[in-house]
A and B are shown apart, each in its own frame.
Chain A
Amino acid sequence: MYEIVKVEELAPKIKLFEVYAPDIAEKSRPGQFIIIITGEKGERVPLTIAGYDVKKGTITFVFNEVGKTTRQLGMMKKGECIWNITGPLGNPSEIRNFGKVLCVAGGVMIAPMLLQVKALREAGNTVVTVMGARIKELLFFKEEMKALSHRFYVATDDGSEGYKGLSFLKDVLASEKFDRCIAMGPVAMLQTVCGLTKPYKIPTIVALMPIMVDGMGMCGVCRVSVGGQMKFGCVDGPEFDGHLVDFEELIKRQRMFLPEERLSALLWELGGCGCGAS
C-alpha cells in the first residue's frame, strides 16, 4: 500500500500525485517509469516518474485522466492508498554534458521533462525547451520550465498561446546547431519532431509509450520496431533513437484495445463511481 501525500490539479484532467514509496524514490532516475495497480481487479498502468525526494521518501507522477483507471485514480484523495506500485522500471535516460540540447515535451509529459531538464542543466548542458499542448489551458509548469531553460518556447495546436504547432522549429533548427534532441509526448508529436531533426542529423531520443502489461520483459506486448529490430519498450527502452522507430506500427499497436477500453470506461460511467456524484 502506497499512501498519497499530495494531490494537485495542474490543468483540467491533469493531476499530480506525490506518493510515499521510499524504496522506489531511492532508486528513481529521470526517464524511468512505474506501474501502478489500484486494486485486485485493476489494470497495470505505466506512468513516468516526474520527481523523487529521497529524504521524504516520495515519488511524483502526473497523469491524464483518459480511461477508466486514470479517471478512477483521479478521484483518489490525499491520505488514500494505492494498492501496489512497481518500480522504478525501464532504463534511466542518458544524462551527461552533450553541449546544446533541445527538449520538446507535450501534454502530461511536460512534468517528467522538467525532471530531465533539471538533470541536463546540472550536467552542464545548454538547454532549449519547447513545451506544447492542444490548447493553452492544458499547459502547466510554465514558470518552472522557463526558470530552468536557457531558452524556452511554448506551442499549442490551436495557436491559443505561443506558436501554432511545431513548424516554427524548422527555423530554430535552421539557425542554430543542436547536439541532441529529446522528445516526450504523444506519438504524433514525437514523429513530427523526428521528421524535423532528421535532415540536420541531430541525435533524437524519444520516450515511447507502447501498451504494456507486466513492464518487466515478460509479455512482449510493448514490442516496437527500432531499426528493423524487435525491441521491448519496457526493458530495452522506454527511450529509443527516434530516427529508427517505426512510428506507423507503434500507432497501430497503441490502438489495439481501443474498443475494449471505451467499453470499460462507458460501463464504469453508467455504473457511477460510487461517490454519489455521477
Chain B
Amino acid sequence: MPKQPPEVRRHNFNEVALGYTEEQALEEADRCLQCPKPQCVKGCPVEVDIPAFIKLLREGKYEEGIRKIKEKNSLPAICGRVCPQEEQCQKMCVLGKVGDSVSIGRLERFLADWERAKGFTIPERAPPTGKRVAVIGAGPAGLTAAADLAKLGHEVVIFEALHLPGGVLVYGIPEFRLPKSIVQAEVDYIKKLGVELKLGYLIGRTYTIPELLKEEGFDAVFIGTGAGLPQFLGVPGENLGGIYSANEFLIRVNLMKSYAFPEYDTPIRVGRHVAVIGGGNVAMDAARSALRLGAEQVYIVYRRSRDEMPARKEEIENAEEEGVIFKLLTNPTRFIGDEKGWVKQMECIRMELGPPDESGRRRPVPVKDSEFLMDVDTVIIAIGRTPNPIIQRTTEGLAVTKWGTIMADENGKTSLEGVYAGGDIVTGEATVISAMGAGKRAARAIHEYLMSKR
C-alpha cells in the first residue's frame, strides 16, 4: 500500500498510509481463494464474513460489499486502519502459510472509504420497543453497543465525559494513523441510527448508574469507559516539568490539537531530546507525534528487547523509518531537573533478559552498576493504563477485580441487574476490535434481557 515517504511524513500530521487505489484493491481481492472453510473468519473477533465481502468487492459490487461488512462491524474505516490484522484474520488466512496472506484490513478500508466518499446509506431500524438504554463512554465498545441496540429498536443515549466522541480513537490514536474526520463520519452514522449523544457527562458525577436506572428512566446500562488511568514509573523526579504521561501528551496533541497551537488554544511543549518510555502502540504513537512536533531526537526506551515489544510490527517499522531511535534493554531509574523544575537528565540502568515471567516473556533484570545518564528535556511515560475508577467508586454492589476492571461474563453481564460492561474496562487494555466485539455481545444480551423483562 502506498505511504507518504518518511522524510515528508515526519513533518506533518497527515495520514501515513494512503490506501489502495481501485486497481490495487481489485488485484489484492483476486488473490483470495474463497476457501470453503475460511480460517480468516475465525480470527475476526466480530466474525465478519470475509470471503463474502471480498467476493463482492472483486465483482465490483462495492455497495453490497460494504453492507456485508457492516452486518457485523459498524466501524469498518476505523478497523481497516488500526486493527492488528496480522495477529487476527490475516494470521489465520491460508495463504499466509505459504506466502503473503490476503491484506484483508486494507480491503476493508478500501470499501469503507468508498462508502464514506459516496455518502452512507442508513439501515432500517426495528420498530421502537419503548425500552431505553444508557451507554456510558463513546469509545469503540460503547459506539458499537449503541449502534446495535438502536438497530434493534431501543432508544439509546450515549453519555460521554469528554467534549468529543470516539474514546481512544479521538484522544489517543494520532491523526496520522487515524484521521479524526473518519471517526466523526462513523459517529455521525451512528447518530443517524437515532442514537442520542450527550457530551460532557461524567457518569459517577453528573449521574450515577443507580440514578440512571431509578430516576432517569433507563431500563439497562452498558459501561464502556475504557482504561484511561495512566500509570507512572514511581521513580524520583517524575513530577518534574516536561514529563508527561502518554495519555496527557496524546490528549493534548490529538483531542486538543496542540500541534496546531496557537491556532488551537491548548499548548504543548516538546523539547529537542525526547525519551518515550515503553514499547507498545501507545509509545510508538507518542514517539512519532513528538517527531512531528519538531523534536530533534526521539528515543524509545524499553526495558526488554525488540522481540518482546507489544507494538504492532507495522508501527515499529513506521517509527524506525521516520527516525525514532530504539534504546532497548534500558530502564529509567530517576529524573534530574534544572533549577526551574524542568527535566534535564534521565538516569537509566541497562537490563538483561532472565528466565520467563508470568507473562511468558523473559523477565528483564537490571545489570548491576550499569547506570548511565541521558540528556533529555521531554519524557513521555507510556507504560500502560488501568481502568477509570470513577464508576467503580460510585456504584454500590458492582463487582470489581483486584486490577480495578469490572467483572462481567462473556456477554457483558455484571453483578448488577440490568448493568452490562465491555471493552477495556473489563479486559484491561486491549484492542479496538475486541472492545467492539464486547459491545456487540453485550448489545445482544441487553436486547434479550429487555425483551424478556416485559
Partner of A249, one of B228, B242, B268, B341: B341
Q: Is A69 an interface residue (CB 8 A)?
A: yes
Partner of A252, one of B206, B241, B390: B241
Residue in chain B with minimal CB distance to A35: B200
Is A217 a contact of B262 with CB atoms below 8 Å? no
Query: Can you list 24 contacts pairing A with B, beta carbon distance less than 8 Å?
Result: A23-B206, A23-B207, A43-B265, A44-B266, A89-B205, A213-B248, A213-B251, A214-B162, A214-B251, A216-B161, A216-B228, A217-B388, A218-B171, A218-B247, A219-B230, A219-B247, A219-B248, A221-B244, A221-B248, A223-B232, A252-B340, A253-B241, A255-B241, A260-B261
- Which chain A residues border B257 with CB–CB below 8 Å? 41
Listed in ascending order, the chain A residues whose CB lies under 8 Å from chain B are 23-24, 27, 37, 41-44, 68-69, 83-89, 213-214, 216-221, 223, 225, 230, 235, 249, 252-253, 255-257, 259-261, 263-264, 267-268
- Which chain B residues border A221 with CB–CB below 8 Å? 244-245, 248
Is B245 a contact of A213 with CB atoms below 8 Å? no
Residues 227-241 of B, flagged 1 when their CB comes within 8 A of A and 0 if not, give 011101000001111
Q: Is B399 an interface residue (CB 8 A)?
A: no
Complex-state Cα separation, A217 to B392, whole angstroms? 13
Is B239 a contact of A87 with CB atoms below 8 Å? no
Is B390 a contact of A217 with CB atoms below 8 Å? yes
Is B230 a contact of A218 with CB atoms below 8 Å? yes
Give chain B interface residues in 348-368, CB to chain A under 8 Å. none
Complex-state Cα separation, A67 to B162, whole angstroms? 23
Complex-state Cα separation, A129 to B263, whole angstroms? 43
Q: Is B403 an interface residue (CB 8 A)?
A: no
Known: A41-B257, A41-B263, A218-B228. A235 touches B200 (CB 8 A): no
Q: What are the 7 closest A-B residue pairs judged by CB atoms, nearest first?
A: A252-B341, A260-B267, A219-B248, A43-B265, A86-B200, A220-B245, A218-B228
Residue in chain A with minimal CB distance to B240: A252
Complex-state Cα separation, A187 to B267, whole angstroms? 22
Known: A218-B230, A220-B230. A68 touches B265 (CB 8 A): yes
Residue in chain B with minimal CB distance to A221: B248
Residue in chain A with minimal CB distance to B229: A217
Residue in chain A with minimal CB distance to B389: A217
- Which chain A residues border B256 with CB–CB below 8 Å? 43-44, 213
- Which chain B residues border A256 with CB–CB below 8 Å? 241-242, 269
Is B163 a contact of A86 with CB atoms below 8 Å? yes
Interface majority SS (helix, strand, loop, mixed), chain A:
mixed
Q: How far is the CB of A237 from chain B (nearest CB, A)?
A: 14
Is B251 a contact of A89 with CB atoms below 8 Å? no
- Which chain A residues border B207 with CB–CB below 8 Å? 23, 27
Q: Is B400 an interface residue (CB 8 A)?
A: no
Is A27 a contact of B161 with CB atoms below 8 Å? no
Known: A37-B163, A41-B263. A86 touches B202 (CB 8 A): yes
Is B247 a contact of A257 with CB atoms below 8 Å? no
Is B206 a contact of A87 with CB atoms below 8 Å? yes
Q: Is B83 an interface residue (CB 8 A)?
A: no
Is A249 a contact of B239 with CB atoms below 8 Å? yes
Known: A218-B228, A218-B251, A220-B248. A89 touches B202 (CB 8 A): yes
Q: Is B68 an interface residue (CB 8 A)?
A: no
- Which chain B residues border A89 with CB–CB below 8 Å? 202, 205
- Which chain A residues border B162 with CB–CB below 8 Å? 86, 214, 216
Residue in chain A with minimal CB distance to B339: A252
Partner of B229, one of A42, A218, A252: A218
Partner of A84, one of B163, B230, B239: B163
- Which chain A residues border B120 with CB–CB below 8 Å? none
- Which chain B residues border A264 with CB–CB below 8 Å? 261-262, 265, 267
- Which chain A residues border B244 with CB–CB below 8 Å? 220-221
Q: Is B201 an interface residue (CB 8 A)?
A: yes
The CB with the most chain B CB atoms within 10 A, among A37, A69, A214, A263, is that of A214
Q: Is B199 an interface residue (CB 8 A)?
A: yes
Is A216 a contact of B206 with CB atoms below 8 Å? no
- Which chain B residues border A217 with CB–CB below 8 Å? 228-229, 388-390
Residue in chain B with minimal CB distance to A27: B206
Residue in chain A with minimal CB distance to B260: A41
Is B265 a contact of A257 with CB atoms below 8 Å? no
Q: Is B252 an interface residue (CB 8 A)?
A: yes
Residues 326-343 of B, flagged 1 when their CB comes within 8 A of A and 0 if not, give 000000000000001100
Q: How far is the CB of B17 from chain A (nearest CB, A)?
A: 27
Known: A217-B390, A218-B251. A85 touches B200 (CB 8 A): yes
Q: How far is the CB of B350 from chain A (nearest CB, A)?
A: 27
- Which chain B residues border A44 with CB–CB below 8 Å? 163, 256, 266
Partner of A41, one of B228, B238, B265: B265
Partner of B251, one of A24, A86, A219, A252: A219
Please give 16 more A-B residue pairs, beta carbons under 8 A apart, in addition to A84-B199, A260-B267.
A41-B257, A41-B265, A84-B200, A88-B206, A213-B256, A213-B266, A218-B229, A218-B247, A220-B230, A220-B248, A225-B239, A252-B240, A253-B239, A255-B241, A263-B262, A264-B267
